[in-house]
Amino acid sequence: MATETITEQEHLTQIRHYLHQHPELSDQEFATTKYLTEKLRELGYRIITPAGLKTGVIAEIGTGKPVIGLRSDIDALPIQEATGLDYASANTGVMHACGHDFHMTALLGAAEKLAAEQLTGTVRVVFQPAEETHVGAQEVTDAGGVDGLDAIIGFHNKPDLPAGTIGLLAGGLMAAVDQFTVTFHGVGTHAAMPQLGADPVVALAATVGAVQSIVSRNQDPQQAVVVSVTHIEGGSTWNVLPETAWFEGTVRTFDQKARALAQKRFIEIVNGQAAAYGVEAEINWQTGPDVVDNDPRLTKIVAAESRQHFNVVAPTPSSAGEDFAYFSQRIPSVFAFIGSHGNSDWHHADLIIDDAGLVPAVQWYYFNAKRLLSELA
Ligand SMILES: [Zn+2]
Ligand SMILES: [Zn+2]
């Protein structure tokens, strides 16, 4: 038994290190797609990747209902790896800094275990592209890749949780993401004669402060909401007031009401500030992934199964976004955090995650796939 566990660990470690060394950017995961497709074919999976999907792999095993989806993302980030690992990225400027190599390895490991069993129903593995750019889940959905699923589960590794610890909660686990750009159009003039212009810089400065009142004065204090202005630009020298100035940033919320309120107040405040300072505001609001919303009934089932094997904790929801939300809006779903015991956090160039988390992650998919096949029969 002990030897078997070590063998599985070594097997999984080898897969992850290979994937870690060969990261690819969002929607360009061609070699990764080929690697996964070959592995799944060897295991006896039917490859059913829709023609409309350029990268990513979807495959099934078993027959009939129910159809349970297991999802992993496959893309990496435009980050120069600084871990110094012997299996560090061989692809300059690209790194699996979000641990999607860990997710793929876990799902491949589970696919292997499930292939060795007689299943009642169907398991569909969904290796989706382009999570980091928040378009992959929608690409898969649009191509028909999740049609007919009765449920779908997935996870994100969590560097601040120990290996073998599972974080689960019903409802909002990861935030809805919105993105904004605001340009103030004024009238440029000599810095010494502001009365001859309409200054977009003063309007911008006042607005950056004012939008913080959305969190402190408009939202329910029990609701987590983030408004971050991350980039501001205006002007080019010391003695000219520019004609335009702009800023961009993001809003993170955990429910529809808070999300709608944040957008409404943002637009009102920006337009109000523009009016107050005599400039014109041009607002571009882009809607990103919705909140990752765990189905209460399915979460109960997955939590009960998970508690039989792992230490299950109620995690703090993350204000990061996750495009698994596109699935969770359409299909009853559960998204978990699985401990990967890292030295730093997601998207850091020095992030090293612990391979010891792989076996529990494989088991999490495996046990819950089987449990859902029987519960949803
Ligand atoms: Zn990420
Ligand atoms: Zn990620």
Domain locations along the chain: 2-174+292-375, 176-287
Q: Dihedrals φ, ψ of 140, to 5°?
A: -65, -45
Are the beta carbons of 67 and 149 closer than 8 angstroms?
Answer: yes
Whole-number Å distance, alpha carbon 235 to ligand 1 midpoint, is: 33
Whole-number Å distance, alpha carbon 50 to ligand 2 midpoint, is: 23
Whole-number Å distance, alpha carbon 74 to ligand 2 midpoint, is: 9
My answer on whether omega of the bond before 66 falls inside 30° of 0, hence cis, is: yes
Looking at the structure, give the CATH architecture of the domain made up of residues 2-174+292-375.
3-Layer(aba) Sandwich (3.40)
Q: Which of the ligands is closest to the CA of residue 347? A: 1
Cα distance between residue 97 and residue 213, in whole Å: 34
Cα distance between residue 246 and residue 203, in whole Å: 10
Which pLDDT belongs to residue 361? 98
Do the two domains 2-174+292-375 and 176-287 of this chain adopt the same fold? no
Q: Dihedrals φ, ψ of 55, to 5°?
A: -135, 165
Q: pLDDT by residue for the chain (377 residues), tens digit each?
A: 555 557 899 999 999 999 999 999 999 999 999 999 999 999 999 999 999 999 999 999 999 999 999 999 999 999 999 999 999 999 999 999 999 999 999 999 999 999 999 999 999 999 999 999 999 999 999 999 999 999 999 999 999 999 999 999 999 999 999 999 999 999 999 999 999 999 999 999 999 999 999 999 999 999 999 999 999 999 999 999 999 999 999 999 998 899 999 999 999 999 999 999 999 999 999 999 999 999 999 999 999 999 999 999 999 999 999 999 999 999 999 999 999 999 999 999 999 999 999 999 999 999 999 999 999 99
- CA atoms 155, 156, 158, 162: torsion sign: positive
* Number of helical H runs and strand E runs in the chain: 10, 16
Cα distance between residue 152 and residue 332, in whole Å: 7
Residue 285 host element (H or E): strand 280-287
CATH number for region 176-287: 3.30.70.360
Whole-number Å distance, alpha carbon 289 to ligand 1 midpoint, is: 13
Provide the residue count of the chain.
377
